[in-house]
Structure 1
Amino acid sequence: MKTNPPETAAPTDAEARRALAPVICYPVETLPQPPMALYRTARATLQPVFEVIAPPRDAACFHVPAGHFFRIHSTQGPQVGDLNLWNAADLTERFYSGKTRALHGTHLSTGDRLWSSFPALRPLATITHDTLDWYGFDAFGGGVHDVIGTRCDPYTHALLTDGGQYHHCCHSNLTRALAAETGLPLAEAERHVHDVLNVFMCTGFTRDTGQYFMKASPVRPGDYLEFIAETDLLGALSACPGGDCSAEHSSDAAACYPLRIEVLRPAPGALDGWHPAAASRYDRSHGA
């Protein structure tokens, strides 16, 4: 927390240094763009294939074949979810929230892509529809669907509560779900759980202290976030124990609701010319 006064006197050119214009780290003009017109056409043909429910304060896994779509639905009340994605054939290739944030920004919406870890660095999924895209950024600097929070976890909980034990943090929920889906021991499954897309969560940074904040999610029953799978995916979604995150997370007191994951198939031919995402073309020689 940036609450202590500085110990170093400001130099005479302090304001000139602060006034320097920012430079975007990763200009995205040459970033390959998703074929959104094709996706919109395919969306009009979607038919449900199956669905999975992530129970309150718990998580569920689901599979999405490449070229299929999936939606995360708000059902009974305002609820946020923590999403992990993996290449279904290789758990070491997983959603890379940090690089996604660097390329697209702190909060995601329609047309943004969820990129995978090195060395593949390819889109695992692309957001094709977002019923909360009207929210934008509010007066506090808050936005929806962030890639800045890591996920609530029992280790931070224990740190902040002098050793308190809580087993329904999203990290633990995702770990249990992945272990159950794959047959991996808990300790091995945990190594594959990673930083998340905070679906429906409304977050930002305070302007005075720069702290990560959350506030009541604007999501309501009927809202959904939709993706196309750019390769065969294994996903896991945790219905966060913070409910709508209006007060706290890692809590048994918050009102929590299930989230529904729906997998949909486009009509034959609706994605003609489309191919699953290819891995990075970097040769991996690293200058050696």
Structure 2
Amino acid sequence: MTERTLLYEHIMEPATGKAVELLAGQVLRIEQIGVAGQCADFNAFNLHDYKECFHTGRTRHMHGMHPTTGDFLWSAPPRDRPIAAIVADTVGTNDVLYPRCSGLLYEYQFGVEPHTNCHDIQAEAQREYGLTSDDVHDSFNFFMHTGVDQAGHPFIAENVAKHGDYVEIIALIDLLAVPNVCGADTFATSSFELKPLRIAIYDGLPEDLAQFEGRPELAKFRSQLTTEDFAAQPIKADRELYKDESYVPNYVNYPISLTDVPISLSPEHQTMLDELVATGEFGETDADVLRYVFFSWWIVNYMKGPKHLDQAAED
């Protein structure tokens, strides 16, 4: 494959996101740069009409709960069209089942407030382009490992992404693309630890779009409406998105403060921990596995509301 031209890159620190203009034919890469996996939430808007935005429901209907390479990101009705496509995915554990996390979850379920969360991060990142908290929509959750158990309950499993893993999407229309570092450190979403992510924008190559040529989903259908088709005229509000050059980020709980907590284990418990580390299922270090064990125990015994654990795995 011919080398793409790098147009922009940025490191998203924990508790932050970034709104970027992604023009039709350009490729956005979201890349793991930590040791273990980090979930990335993602919103997207038509750059010239923000009322057209990414829709998890239509995407889920078309591609299931775990879209991956070759699948589209769809906009909501009445536009109902692919606005981006996944051209590469080295993990394949994306999610469009779960909504974005919000401050309520941490205040209600964990008794913690304020807490970094995807809704507030998205709202702050989108503010650079004049959007408000009401404009944040349910997210495409890259690298989020989820499923549904036999009783029909959704669960969040251990993040399996590793350093260097990435997803790439190509814009099919001009977009405002808004990825963020998921703020969930008390769920398995990102292995109970927040880590930075790298984003990069490249000029797309002919072969990036070639893999989608002839796809029936890209046809034009009569039921796909635009503002010109609406009964209510004129259309209210300025829908074009413009960058606020005076914008200064102000994310909740940023920068994240980390505190080392020494843990003393008996020989028996150390042996148990060593056995869990050896499985490779719960992290790569003693600290990784201890976080997993502690938060899983806390969720089962103290967290209010639905637990979102894989009961089969827990058993």
Give the counterpart letter for 1:211 in structure 2.
H
Residue of structure 2 equivalent to 1:86: 45
Question: Pairwise CA RMSD of aligned residues?
Answer: 3.0
* Corresponding letter in the other structure for 2:157: K
> Who is 2:82 aligned against?
123
Answer with 236-245 or 55-64: which moved more. Answer: 236-245
**AA matched with 1:206:** D
Distance 1:117 1:279 in 2: 15
Q: Does 1:193 align with 2:141?
A: no
What residue number does 2:130 align with? 183
Per-residue displacement from partner, 1:113-163 (whole Å, max 9, x unpaired)? 000012211111100111114xxxxxxxxxx1010000111133334356x
The residue correspondences of 1:58-137 to structure 2 (distance < 5 A) are 58-77=16-35, 78-133=37-92
Do structure 1's residue 147 and structure 2's residue 96 form an aligned pair? yes
The CA deviation at 1:64 is 0.7
Aligned to 1:160: 109
Matched, 1:49 2:22: no
Is this contact kept in 2: 1:55–1:257, CA < 8 A?
yes
CA distance in 1, matches of 2:206, 2:38: 34
Task: Pick from 264, 271, 277 the counterpart of residue 202 of structure 2.
Answer: 264
For residue 243 of structure 1, report the CA deviation from its aligned partner: 5.0
Q: Distance in 2 between matches of 1:206 and 1:270?
A: 36
Deviation (angstroms), 1:270? 8.3
1:242 Cα deviation after fit: 2.6
**Partner of 2:18: helix, strand, or coil?**
strand
Count of matched residue pairs: 222
Helix, strand or coil at the partner of 2:143: strand
Q: Is the 8 A contact 1:201 1:245 kept in 2?
A: no
CA contact (8 A) 1:79 1:256 kept: yes
SS in 2 for 1:237: strand
| 2:223 match | 282
Corresponding residue to 1:241 among 166, 183, 193 = 183
Cα distance between partner residues in 2 of 1:145 and 1:67? 22
CA deviation profile, 1:152-181 (whole Å, cap 9, x unmatched): 11133334356x5234110111011111x1
**Structure 1 residue 231, shift from structure 2 partner:** 0.5
Relative to its length, the structure with more helix (as a share) is 2
Q: Is the CA contact (8 Å cut-off) linking 2:145 and 2:158 kept in structure 1? A: yes
1:173 — aligned with what? 121
SS in 1 for 2:77: coil
- Alpha-carbon distance in structure 1 between the residues aligned to 2:163 and 2:183: 18
Shift of 1:219: 0.5
Contact 2:23–2:175 under 8 Å retained in 1:
yes
Contact 1:214/1:246 (CA < 8 Å) preserved in 2? Answer: yes
Paired residue type of 2:182: C
Percent identity (aligned): 33
Following superposition, the deviation at residue 281 of structure 1 comes to: 2.6
What is residue 289 of structure 2 aligned with on the other side?
A: none
CA contact (8 A) 1:201 1:217 kept: yes
5 Å matches for 1:2-41?
none
Which letter maps to 2:8? F
Structure scoring higher RCO (CA < 8 A, sep ≥ 6) equals 1
1:25-55 deviation line (CA, Å, top 9, x unaligned) = xxxxxxxxxxxxxxxxxx6342211112221
Residues of 1 paired with 2:103 and 2:174: CA distance? Answer: 30
- Which amino acid in the other structure matches residue 198 of structure 1? N
After superposition, what is the alpha-carbon deviation per residue over 1:223-269, rounded to whole angstroms, capped at 9, x for unaligned?
A: 000111000111111211235942789xxxx4211111110003589
**Cross-structure match for 1:139:** none
Q: Tell me the equivalent position of 1:7.
A: none
More strand by share: 1
Contact 2:159-2:189 at 8 Å conserved across structures: no
The separation in 1 between residues aligned to 2:115 and 2:44, in whole angstroms, is 21
Structure 2: unaligned runs, 5 residues or longer = 231-315
Q: 1:278 to 1:231 in 2, by over 3 A?
A: farther
For 2:203 and 2:39, the matched residues in 1 are separated by 25
State the secondary structure of the residue aligned to 1:73. strand
CA deviation string 1:12-33 (max 9, x = no partner)? xxxxxxxxxxxxxxxxxxxxxx
Tell me what 1:231 maps to. Answer: 173
